[in-house]
């Protein structure tokens, strides 16, 4: 896989190099503000999309689609629709308000340093949760590229990103992120289109939409496992190991040995790893109701989490301040909708092709790999090798851009919001703050990396779903009520966010403790937003209404949020930058 290794190394070095080079031109906040006047909405939109498209979008959706069927595709709809919610309720007012981070906004809008600390703690949790699946993706990808154990990829990418962020590279550079977006679109679209052309459309319609279970192709298939694996035959079938044919009855479990070729005869049904459902094509292709995770209430819960959670992702919001004004923020967001819709046309193709062309991933249970290994498995020879190199490079672009953005948010929150409170009033120089940022960047990657090592068995898409559910249950109500409702108080916002977080995390961990529950209401534990979001809103509104401590200057706050620019009614960015300088 030397081709893939070269492609991955090229993307990695190119990204890091461009980022470091670009930093020379944007040293200070006011430099960034001035530069932002030159950035058109299209560039900004590509940059936002570039930072947003993570391992979950690049690998997770296709992997989950292959595993549980078309109901996984609601993820891509929700990931895009989240920007519509952002456009309708948040983009322009937040840009006009001019706070640069979520804790900044929380403190300025409601005059509460305590609220800033609560918001900062939630930023740490959400960004940490979101970082885990990126590192998990890196472990899988490096395994496909050079066959290294899972933990090697996790550690390598964690170290690269931490060192790079600590050294100050790749911080909020619009052009680098925009470039990353187009790399990702190219890397997911070109192999998908070429594979469709190569196979003349979607092959094996019976396995995709008909009665067939996943089965071996007309030449059979041979797989070599990295570790001993338990798998179940959904129908009576057979496999060949050490030259002997083993027949298995329907529903029978087998223990497949490692490091030895295991063959499935031509057209034979493949055994599926524990935790992977064996579905007929008809059930697999149903967007709702085909499987446990396709139950309507779970689909709606996921849509709520993604629709409302996008506005609460810390690394996404920062990027909106490169828009020169509220009008541009709206225009940029509309373009983001278009660019993301373009990208999300393609993951679905990998999931479908993977089901018929790479059924061995059902045996290993590694459906999360499908985008990376499908071209190589389905198209032996140079064509497949090159296309796998392309998708691997795109995946690395996704890990690097998203995890850098997240780590900058983590380290920034720690050094800017949390540490000064812990240090209690001791004066801090700029160089000391920069040191804290660097230490925080190195430290903040440790816990997510450890969690990623433990979470090898959890699907990427589910991990990311949790980060969205947390954001939707905490920051979304704070933004929506803070921007549009004059009666919100600091106490109401704090308790609402805490309540939403507690309910959401409580449900997620209860679900983990019970093992993956599949039936009935318990399945909601994996997809908590439909419960936790209303709880957060109700708590925030209820406590604000009984709270005697109202915000004193609420008229000025509303003016800052909603009045258009250029009326001379409030500080513009340049005046603000002059005040800060």
Partner 1 sequence: MSPSVPGRRRIVRRGLRTPREELADATAHGHVYLRGLQRQQLTLSLLALVTFGAIFGVLPLALYLVPAFARLELFGVPLGLWIVVVPMLPGFVLIGWIYQRRADAADEAFRELVER
The residue ranges that bind partner 1 (CB under 8 A) are 70, 73-74, 76-77, 80-81, 83-85, 87-89, 92, 201-202, 205, 209, 285-289, 296, 299-300, 303, 326-327, 330-331, 333-334, 337-338, 341-342, 344-345, 348, 484, 555-556, 558-559, 562-564, 566-569
Tokens of 231: 């798998």
Tell me the closest approach of the beta carbon of residue 204 to partner 1, in angstroms.
12
| Strand intervals (E) in 36-102 | none
Least distance CB 265 / partner 1 (angstroms) = 28
Cβ-based nearer residue to partner 1, 69 or 528: 69
Q: Which is nearer to partner 1, 80 or 373 (CB)?
A: 80
Closer Cβ to partner 1, 299 or 501, answer by number = 299
Nearest distance in Å: CB 320, partner 1: 14
Pick the closer one to partner 1 by CB: 128 or 326: 326
Q: How far is the CB of 295 from partner 1 (least distance, A)?
A: 9
Question: What is the edge-to-edge ordering of all strands in the sheet holding 272-273?
Answer: 253-256, 229-232, 272-273
C-beta of 442: minimal distance to partner 1 in Å?
Answer: 39
237-241 and 229-232 as β-strands: parallel, antiparallel, unpaired? unpaired
Residue with Cβ nearer partner 1 (58 or 495): 58
CB of 257 to partner 1, least distance (A): 37
Concatenating the DSSP letter of every residue in 393-439 gives HHHHHHHHHHHHHHHHHHHHHIIIIIHHHHHTT----HHHHHHHHHH
β-sheet bridge partners, residue 229: 256
Task: Provide the token pair at 485.
Answer: 């409702």
Nearer to partner 1, 79 or 379 (CB): 79
Q: Are 51 and 319 in contact (CB under 8 A)?
A: yes
- Residue 512: CB minimum distance to partner 1, A: 26
Tokens of 522: 């318990």
- Helix or strand holding residue 349 (H, E): helix 347-357
Radius of gyration, alpha carbons of the chain: 24
DSSP 83-146: HHHHHHHTHHHHHHH---SHHHHHHHHHT-HHHHHHHHHHHHHHHHHHHHHHHHHHHHHHHHHH
* Helical residues (DSSP H) of 234-325, grouped into ranges: 281-284, 296-309, 314-317
Buried b (16+ CB within 10 A) or exposed e, 214-234: bbbbeeebebebeeebebbbb
Is the CB of 216 or the CB of 340 nearer to partner 1?
340
Q: Which is nearer to partner 1, 1 or 559 (CB)?
A: 559
CB of 479 to partner 1, least distance (A): 13
């Amino acid at each position: 896989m030397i081709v893939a290794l070269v492609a991955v190394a090229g993307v990695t070095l190119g990204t890091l190099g461009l980022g470091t080079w670009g930093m020379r031109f944007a040293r200070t906040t006011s430099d960034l503000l001035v530069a932002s006047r030159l950035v058109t909405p299209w560039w900004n939109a590509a940059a936002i999309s570039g930072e947003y498209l993570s391992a979950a979008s690049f690998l997770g959706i296709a992997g989950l689609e292959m595993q549980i069927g078309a109901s996984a595709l609601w993820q891509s709809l929700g990931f895009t629709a989240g920007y519509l919610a952002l456009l309708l309720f948040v983009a322009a007012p937040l840009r006009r308000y001019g706070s640069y981070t979520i804790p900044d906004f929380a403190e300025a809008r409601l005059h509460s340093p305590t609220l800033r600390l609560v918001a900062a703690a939630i930023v740490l949790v959400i960004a940490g949760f979101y970082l885990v699946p990126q590192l998990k993706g890196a472990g899988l990808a490096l395994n496909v590229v050079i066959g290294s154990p899972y933990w090697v990829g996790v550690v390598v990418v964690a170290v690269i990103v931490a060192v790079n962020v600590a050294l100050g590279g790749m911080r909020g550079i619009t052009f680098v992120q925009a470039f990353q977006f187009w790399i990702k679109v190219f890397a997911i679209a070109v192999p998908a289109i070429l594979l469709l052309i190569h196979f003349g459309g979607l092959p094996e319609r019976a396995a995709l939409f008909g009665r067939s279970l996943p089965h071996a192709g007309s030449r059979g298939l041979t797989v070599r496992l990295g570790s001993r694996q338990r798998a179940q035959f959904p129908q009576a079938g057979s496999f060949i190991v050490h030259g002997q044919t083993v027949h298995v009855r329907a529903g029978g479990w087998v223990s497949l040995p490692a490091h030895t070729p295991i063959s499935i005869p031509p057209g034979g049904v493949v055994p599926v790893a524990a935790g992977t459902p064996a579905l007929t094509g008809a059930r697999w292709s149903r967007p709702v109701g085909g499987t446990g995770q396709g139950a309507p209430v779970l689909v709606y819960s996921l849509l709520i989490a993604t629709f409302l959670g996008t506005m609460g992702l810390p690394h996404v919001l920062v990027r909106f301040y490169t828009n020169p004004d509220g009008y541009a923020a709206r225009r940029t967001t509309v373009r983001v909708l278009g660019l993301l819709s373009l990208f999300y046309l393609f993951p679905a193709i990998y999931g479908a092709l993977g089901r018929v062309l790479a059924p061995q991933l059902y045996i290993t249970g590694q459906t999360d790999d499908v985008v990376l290994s499908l071209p190589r498995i389905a198209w032996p020879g140079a064509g497949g090798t090159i296309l796998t190199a392309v998708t691997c490079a795109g995946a690395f672009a996704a890990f690097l851009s998203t995890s850098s953005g997240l780590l900058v948010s983590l380290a920034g929150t720690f050094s800017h919001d949390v540490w000064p409170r812990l240090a209690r009033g001791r004066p801090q120089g700029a160089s000391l703050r920069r040191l804290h940022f660097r230490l925080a960047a190195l430290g903040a990657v440790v816990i997510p990396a450890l969690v990623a090592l433990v979470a090898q068995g959890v699907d990427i898409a589910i991990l990311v779903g949790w980060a969205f559910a947390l954001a939707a249950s905490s920051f979304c109500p704070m933004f929506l009520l803070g921007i549009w409702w004059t009666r919100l108080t600091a106490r109401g916002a704090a308790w609402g966010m805490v309540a939403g977080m507690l309910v959401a995390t409580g449900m997620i961990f209860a679900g983990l403790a019970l093992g993956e529950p599949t039936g009935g209401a318990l399945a909601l534990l994996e997809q908590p937003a439909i419960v936790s979001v209303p709880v957060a809103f109700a708590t925030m509104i209820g406590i604000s209404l009984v709270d005697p401590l109202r915000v004193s200057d609420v008229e000025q706050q509303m003016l800052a949020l909603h009045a258009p620019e250029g009326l001379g009614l409030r500080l513009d960015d340049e005046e603000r930058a002059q005040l800060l300088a």
